[in-house]
Amino acid sequence: MAAADTPGDLVALGLRVGERVRFRRRDDERWKEAKLESVERDGSLAIRDAKGASRSMPVSRVQVRRTGPRGGTVWVPATDLRDETEQLDLL
Protein backbone atom coordinates (compact mmCIF):
# COMPACT_ATOMS: atom_id res chain seq x y z
CA MET A 1 0.00 0.00 0.00
CA ALA A 2 1.53 3.25 -1.11
CA ALA A 3 0.07 6.13 0.84
CA ALA A 4 -0.07 9.78 -0.05
CA ASP A 5 1.92 11.21 2.85
CA THR A 6 0.74 14.80 2.62
CA PRO A 7 -1.04 15.90 5.80
CA GLY A 8 -3.14 18.21 3.63
CA ASP A 9 -5.03 15.18 2.31
CA LEU A 10 -6.19 14.30 5.82
CA VAL A 11 -6.91 17.91 6.73
CA ALA A 12 -9.06 18.26 3.61
CA LEU A 13 -11.11 15.31 4.89
CA GLY A 14 -11.30 16.75 8.42
CA LEU A 15 -9.09 13.99 9.88
CA ARG A 16 -5.76 13.57 11.71
CA VAL A 17 -3.11 10.86 11.84
CA GLY A 18 -3.63 8.59 14.86
CA GLU A 19 -7.30 9.41 15.20
CA ARG A 20 -9.54 6.58 16.41
CA VAL A 21 -11.87 5.27 13.74
CA ARG A 22 -14.06 2.25 13.22
CA PHE A 23 -14.80 0.39 10.02
CA ARG A 24 -16.71 -2.53 8.58
CA ARG A 25 -16.40 -4.19 5.20
CA ARG A 26 -20.06 -5.18 4.85
CA ASP A 27 -23.29 -3.79 6.31
CA ASP A 28 -24.00 -7.04 8.17
CA GLU A 29 -20.62 -7.05 10.00
CA ARG A 30 -19.75 -5.66 13.42
CA TRP A 31 -17.72 -2.46 13.65
CA LYS A 32 -13.96 -2.89 14.26
CA GLU A 33 -11.87 -0.14 15.83
CA ALA A 34 -8.61 1.09 14.31
CA LYS A 35 -6.31 4.11 14.07
CA LEU A 36 -6.00 6.35 11.04
CA GLU A 37 -2.62 6.41 9.29
CA SER A 38 -2.98 8.29 5.99
CA VAL A 39 -4.90 8.72 2.75
CA GLU A 40 -4.09 6.31 -0.09
CA ARG A 41 -3.47 7.46 -3.66
CA ASP A 42 -6.93 6.23 -4.68
CA GLY A 43 -8.59 8.33 -1.93
CA SER A 44 -9.26 5.47 0.49
CA LEU A 45 -8.08 5.63 4.11
CA ALA A 46 -5.07 3.67 5.35
CA ILE A 47 -5.88 2.38 8.84
CA ARG A 48 -4.29 -0.05 11.30
CA ASP A 49 -6.59 -2.34 13.26
CA ALA A 50 -6.22 -3.53 16.86
CA LYS A 51 -4.23 -6.61 15.76
CA GLY A 52 -1.71 -4.45 13.90
CA ALA A 53 -2.94 -5.31 10.40
CA SER A 54 -2.84 -2.49 7.87
CA ARG A 55 -6.03 -1.99 5.87
CA SER A 56 -7.24 0.30 3.13
CA MET A 57 -10.92 1.24 3.45
CA PRO A 58 -13.16 3.50 1.38
CA VAL A 59 -14.14 6.69 3.20
CA SER A 60 -17.80 5.63 3.04
CA ARG A 61 -17.05 2.56 5.26
CA VAL A 62 -15.30 4.50 8.04
CA GLN A 63 -16.65 6.39 11.06
CA VAL A 64 -14.58 8.75 13.22
CA ARG A 65 -14.73 9.05 17.00
CA ARG A 66 -15.77 12.49 18.22
CA THR A 67 -16.94 14.06 21.47
CA GLY A 68 -20.65 14.82 21.42
CA PRO A 69 -22.35 17.96 22.70
CA ARG A 70 -22.73 16.49 26.21
CA GLY A 71 -19.20 15.09 26.40
CA GLY A 72 -19.98 11.51 25.39
CA THR A 73 -18.48 9.56 22.51
CA VAL A 74 -20.26 9.69 19.16
CA TRP A 75 -19.28 8.06 15.87
CA VAL A 76 -19.54 10.32 12.82
CA PRO A 77 -19.31 9.06 9.22
CA ALA A 78 -16.00 10.22 7.72
CA THR A 79 -17.87 11.52 4.68
CA ASP A 80 -19.66 14.08 6.91
CA LEU A 81 -16.43 15.68 8.19
CA ARG A 82 -15.33 17.55 5.06
CA ASP A 83 -17.47 20.59 5.80
CA GLU A 84 -16.90 20.57 9.56
CA THR A 85 -14.75 23.30 11.09
CA GLU A 86 -12.44 22.30 13.89
CA GLN A 87 -10.45 24.17 16.50
CA LEU A 88 -6.73 23.63 15.94
CA ASP A 89 -4.51 22.36 18.75
CA LEU A 90 -2.26 24.82 20.52
CA LEU A 91 1.46 24.08 20.23
Domain that holds residue 48: 3-80
Q: For residue 37, is it within any domain?
A: yes
Q: For residue 40, is it within any domain?
A: yes
Q: For residue 69, is it within any domain?
A: yes
pLDDT of residue 21: 93
Q: Which pLDDT tens digit goes with each residue over 39-71?
A: 888 888 999 998 999 999 998 899 999 888 888
Q: For residue 38, is it within any domain?
A: yes
Q: For residue 86, is it within any domain?
A: no
Q: For residue 25, is it within any domain?
A: yes
Q: For residue 61, is it within any domain?
A: yes
Residue 23 has pLDDT above 90, yes or no: yes
Domain count, the chain: 1
Spatial contact of 60 and 43, defined as CB atoms under 8 Å apart: no
pTM of the model: 0.73
CA distance 62 to 44: 10
* CATH at 38: 2.30.30
Residue 78 has pLDDT above 60, yes or no: yes
Q: In Å, what is the CA distance from 74 to each residue of 4, 43, 46, 70, 89?
A: 28, 24, 21, 10, 20
Q: For residue 88, is it within any domain?
A: no
